[in-house]
A and B are shown apart, each in its own frame.
Chain A
């Protein structure tokens, strides 16, 4: 019977239990496609993971702010330099920067730190002494700590080390000088060895002393080589440089640690209440954003690249001590949600942006829901099948795919047009204009979703309504529309979520500039017509900031807020769909 399966070449009778070579090969080849698919999905998921990690690992720490609680002393000497009675005007004339930030705040900060039992000079000096000792140890100059202690103050030690280094340098110069005699060289080397001995480095002095013997016995070049082998000179200079640092830690350095964002509030408060002069108040002051990054572990401070720009080890050590003493505390940054955007990361916030986005969503909701639903009802329930209807449909399909920036161009052109019509720049950057542009963009999305929802209502419902004598309009509004409402709502929410993240069109109509006011007025009293920001444009502003910490930290915090909003909207849409979806 095997040969009866004519047609092709007679297949030999094979058992099902044995996989033929051919099939095995095919199975192997087929597996490649499956693996490619898995690899693609893995890659995409990995990318998503990296994206989210990149956002949250940077954005979450930036949502916390380190604050120094300082005992602010309203120093009459600063507020009222001429003595006599203090007046509000005098207070207002005191410079915010030199008088308040570098004066009141810094002096109070110093006092607060010292009251907490932290020795500022000691801490700073300790840092540098450690560094100096480290440099000396590395070159084999052991006993550096004792040497420094022997001189008394770090500054004196710096001097001694500098002189010793100079003696070594002189010896080196003499050895390198071809015209020098052996006697000169021996004298210079001996002087250097003596200097080392005097500074407290007896062993090093012996080492250098041997160089003198080499100079007499083998010649100057060999001696120069032997001297160069010890790295004492550079180490001594490095130690001297480090030891000179503590003296430079003055008020300016101290005030760099804090960012006195509330200095204006403080001045106003004093001016309003002159009794405060001479009193003490407990005030929270944000820590400079670079220091915040150090404290939150983003920068370790171990190498130059890991050092907050503009700061050095002494700042870090002092801040560490302040944290230990409980002067610096980590707080959630509530002000981020209310403050206005600012170049300074310490005080920048997204208040007007949140409100602006909310207002725009309101405009989009009203506008595109009314027009989108009306258009869909017309197209789905009333429109005759003719060229005009086709044209509308083509338009909607194309608008859905037009790049968003083109809508921005439309908005910009509207602005130009209104300006030349005599309206001036009055609606540039307002939530109203932004909302209208976003609405036009969202309209196609909502029309497509609404039409799908209307289509899903079975024709039998319409027939039933028409059959009892309802007019077409009544059928549409009494029966079809209510039944399609959940689908329409879901589509609308998704459309709004899309609009919430749109950036490019808003940039073009001026929503990316800073606003003056902290908050916008209510939408019913003209808030729609005030200069606004939006979440995505404020993210853009953060991304354009000059400070890396703002760019990399706060921008991500703003993104987190935006993503959470989007997430909430989508969850809402999904819930609505689950709850009310009806299958016919």
Chain B
């Protein structure tokens, strides 16, 4: 029985039902029209669609929600199964005497978590074991943790069991498994009911005057509105995912300690860091060295990109012959389309060693440095700056050029005295956008700026290695094994938080400037 009520099968049944509904609805509508199709409010096809959608959408939506919620619900359920006086969780007498109350609570909490995750994997393992046909339900019911080498038996079957199995854990796991199986059947069952109900009701609703088209179009509009809120949902999801951990971090570490700290030394990366009162390493998580590195590189990048991009744009839009333009523009587009990791590797294997050879290894001890990353990032930004500047320069009306040329100005005078001043806000907007890109750029700096894990103070040497906000985010989140609760990881979310708001601010600023600029000529 339960074999039928799993998600894929039900999905298939619902789909078949919906397709059948389309044809049934259509023929029913034709029948209802009594031969005169014009007497129907909506086309038979639309009746068919109505039935299909009424069958499909509610049940599939339910299934989706169910899939996501069932994990959550079973988590809550397993939490309620585990009471604090389970023998597995009880602290030893010695621990109760020597540890403070707070420490006892921490120990209890962590062993509880460990126990729950053990029970969860065990439940999964038992389910897999039974699925493989290695045991019957009755046998599982009879299992006792102390009698059989349960863990070995499950492992031999190819199941994953991480912890040693106690009787308490086995009990919880068995309950959890039963609960999960019930949940796994209940959801599809309800979904199937919804589908059948929708199918029947919508078929019965068909008559000459039923406004199937309106109803179908309402479904479609609903979907369109939902799709357009995706952008909002994404923004909200991003905000939620960075804000909540960041707030926890700010509360634990101190907002100002973070913002104005001059040292970045996460405990996870530091050997021999100072030991704190609770026997843990204290992380020093100051933001300043990171934002310094980020801004330093961005500054160098803009120093390269802005003049090059601007002069290129001016030349292309005001002086170049159509032939030159048709050759250079695609080249710039190629440069713009190259993924940033390619630039990063280029910086690493070509530009870095070249710079080192030029300035010497006393000034530049490593091939990775501010200049390496900055120069390459600047080159990456040239097409960005030039195409945005090109747009704003072309938006300056031809009448301005004519006016200036008609007075006997040379083309260069027209550019410097009329067009650039007129386009200035737009160009400033483009530069701000480029700055935002430079600050958020990741792969170039990860490969070419340096990968130190601890930094103190602000590196002033442009040929020295620095650490940036994005580098740290990548380093910590690609490392395996960091728990979500570790303060180092929380700090990463705080970094993402500041990064998001800095770039958001710059983007809004740029949009505002450009919008003002456009108004001027519209």
A and B form one complex: yes
A interface vs B, CB < 8 Å? 26-27, 29-34, 36-41, 43-45, 47-48, 50-51, 54-55, 58, 370-372, 374-375, 377-379, 382-383, 391-392, 395-399, 401-410, 412-414, 416-424, 440, 443-444, 447, 471-473, 497-498, 500-504, 507-508, 510, 512, 536, 539-540, 543, 551-552, 555-556, 559, 562-563, 566, 570
Residues in chain A near residue B4, CB distance under 8 A: none
A397 contact from B232, B319, B440, B511, Cβ within 8 A: B511
Given contacts A37-B312, A44-B308, A566-B339, contact A374 B228 (CB under 8 A): yes
Apart from A41-B328, A396-B231, 15 more pairs, CB < 8 Å: A43-B308, A45-B328, A58-B349, A375-B228, A377-B224, A392-B229, A392-B232, A403-B500, A406-B503, A413-B242, A413-B493, A421-B71, A443-B234, A472-B217, A508-B477
Interface centre among B226, B238, B478 (most CB of A within 10 A): B478
**Are the C-beta atoms of B312 and A41 separated by less than 8 Å?**
yes
B interface vs A, CB < 8 Å? 68, 71-72, 74-75, 120, 213, 217, 220-221, 223-232, 234-235, 237-238, 240-242, 245, 307-312, 314-316, 319-320, 328, 331-332, 334-335, 337-346, 348-350, 379, 382-383, 410-413, 415-416, 433, 436-437, 439-443, 446-447, 470, 473-474, 477-478, 484, 492-493, 496, 499-500, 503-504, 507-508, 511
B350 contact from A50, A501, A566, Cβ within 8 A: A50
Which chain B residue lies CB-closest to A51? B346
**Are the C-beta atoms of B228 and A378 separated by less than 8 Å?**
yes
**Are the C-beta atoms of A30 and B410 separated by less than 8 Å?**
yes
A-B contact pairs, 7 of them (CB 8 A): A44-B383, A51-B342, A402-B440, A409-B493, A540-B443, A556-B349, A559-B342
**Are the C-beta atoms of A395 and B412 separated by less than 8 Å?**
no
User: What 7 pairs between A and B have smallest CB-CB spacing?
Assistant: A403-B440, A37-B315, A501-B339, A30-B412, A413-B241, A374-B227, A422-B71
A44 contact from B74, B227, B335, B433, Cβ within 8 A: B335
A38 contact from B217, B315, B477, Cβ within 8 A: B315
Task: State in angstroms the CA–CA spacing of A380 and B480 once bound together.
Answer: 45
Q: How far is the CB of A48 from chain B (nearest CB, A)?
A: 5
Q: How far is the CB of A62 from chain B (nearest CB, A)?
A: 12
B contact patch SS: helix
A422 contact from B72, B227, B441, Cβ within 8 A: B72
Q: How far is the CB of A321 from chain B (nearest CB, A)?
A: 32
Residues in chain B near residue A30, CB distance under 8 A: 410-413
**Are the C-beta atoms of B410 and A421 separated by less than 8 Å?**
no
**Are the C-beta atoms of B235 and A395 separated by less than 8 Å?**
yes
**Are the C-beta atoms of A570 and B337 separated by less than 8 Å?**
yes
**Are the C-beta atoms of B228 and A37 separated by less than 8 Å?**
no
Task: State in angstroms the CA–CA spacing of A558 and B411 once bound together.
Answer: 46
Q: How far is the CB of A392 from chain B (nearest CB, A)?
A: 6
**Are the C-beta atoms of B227 and A370 separated by less than 8 Å?**
yes
Task: State in angstroms the CA–CA spacing of A401 and B433 once bound together.
Answer: 8
Residues in chain B near residue A543, CB distance under 8 A: 341, 344-345, 348, 447
B340 contact from A447, A473, A501, Cβ within 8 A: A501
Given contacts A406-B499, A410-B237, contact A40 B311 (CB under 8 A): yes
Given contacts A33-B416, A543-B447, contact A374 B223 (CB under 8 A): yes
Interface centre among B309, B328, B338, B507 (most CB of A within 10 A): B338
**Are the C-beta atoms of A404 and B227 separated by less than 8 Å?**
no
**Are the C-beta atoms of B339 and A562 separated by less than 8 Å?**
yes
Which chain B residue lies CB-closest to A44? B382
**Are the C-beta atoms of B238 and A406 separated by less than 8 Å?**
yes
**Are the C-beta atoms of A508 and B473 separated by less than 8 Å?**
yes
Which chain A residue lies CB-closest to B483? A416
**Are the C-beta atoms of B319 and A37 separated by less than 8 Å?**
yes
**Are the C-beta atoms of A503 and B443 separated by less than 8 Å?**
yes
Which chain B residue lies CB-closest to A404? B442
Given contacts A422-B75, A551-B349, contact A26 B228 (CB under 8 A): no
Task: State in angstroms the CA–CA spacing of A264 and B413 once bound together.
Answer: 74
Q: How far is the CB of B408 from chain A (nearest CB, A)?
A: 9
**Are the C-beta atoms of B348 and A37 separated by less than 8 Å?**
no
Residues in chain A near residue B346, CB distance under 8 A: 51, 54-55
Residues in chain B near residue A443, CB distance under 8 A: 230-231, 234
Task: State in angstroms the CA–CA spacing of A332 and B28 once bound together.
Answer: 64
**Are the C-beta atoms of B328 and A447 separated by less than 8 Å?**
no
Q: How far is the CB of B38 from chain A (nearest CB, A)?
A: 13
A37 contact from B221, B314, B410, Cβ within 8 A: B314
Given contacts A37-B314, A403-B440, A409-B473, contact A27 B331 (CB under 8 A): no
**Are the C-beta atoms of A503 and B339 separated by less than 8 Å?**
yes
**Are the C-beta atoms of A33 and B415 separated by less than 8 Å?**
yes
Residues in chain B near residue A47, CB distance under 8 A: 335, 379
Residues in chain A near residue B226, CB distance under 8 A: 374
Residues in chain B near residue A562, CB distance under 8 A: 339, 342
Task: State in angstroms the CA–CA spacing of A562 and B493 once bound together.
Answer: 31
A48 contact from B319, B331, B410, B503, Cβ within 8 A: B331
Q: How far is the CB of A116 from chain B (nearest CB, A)?
A: 37
Task: State in angstroms the CA–CA spacing of A38 and B507 once bound together.
Answer: 30
A536 contact from B221, B312, B341, B511, Cβ within 8 A: B341
Residues in chain A near residue B334, CB distance under 8 A: 48
Which chain B residue lies CB-closest to A419? B484
Residues in chain B near residue A45, CB distance under 8 A: 328, 331
**Are the C-beta atoms of A401 and B224 separated by less than 8 Å?**
no
**Are the C-beta atoms of A403 and B508 separated by less than 8 Å?**
no
**Are the C-beta atoms of A410 and B220 separated by less than 8 Å?**
no
Q: How far is the CB of A31 from chain B (nearest CB, A)?
A: 7
Task: State in angstroms the CA–CA spacing of A471 and B213 once bound together.
Answer: 9
**Are the C-beta atoms of B242 and A512 separated by less than 8 Å?**
no
**Are the C-beta atoms of B412 and A501 separated by less than 8 Å?**
no
B412 contact from A34, A375, A420, Cβ within 8 A: A34
Task: State in angstroms the CA–CA spacing of A56 and B379 once bound together.
Answer: 19
Task: State in angstroms the CA–CA spacing of A45 and B335 once bound together.
Answer: 9
Given contacts A556-B345, A563-B342, contact A406 B230 (CB under 8 A): no
Q: How far is the CB of B443 from chain A (nearest CB, A)?
A: 5
Residues in chain B near residue A58, CB distance under 8 A: 349
**Are the C-beta atoms of A33 and B228 separated by less than 8 Å?**
no
B319 contact from A34, A395, A440, Cβ within 8 A: A34
Residues in chain A near residue B379, CB distance under 8 A: 44, 47
Task: State in angstroms the CA–CA spacing of A16 and B151 once bound together.
Answer: 102
Task: State in angstroms the CA–CA spacing of A536 and B226 once bound together.
Answer: 32
Which chain B residue lies CB-closest to A38? B315
Residues in chain B near residue A29, CB distance under 8 A: 412
**Are the C-beta atoms of B312 and A409 separated by less than 8 Å?**
no
Q: How far is the CB of A68 from chain B (nearest CB, A)?
A: 28
Residues in chain A near residue B230, CB distance under 8 A: 371, 375, 440, 443
A41 contact from B72, B227, B316, B433, Cβ within 8 A: B316
Q: How far is the CB of B224 from chain A (nearest CB, A)?
A: 4
Task: State in angstroms the CA–CA spacing of A502 and B338 once bound together.
Answer: 10
Given contacts A26-B413, A41-B315, A403-B439, contact A422 B74 (CB under 8 A): yes
**Are the C-beta atoms of A33 and B412 separated by less than 8 Å?**
yes
Task: State in angstroms the CA–CA spacing of A555 and B345 once bound together.
Answer: 8
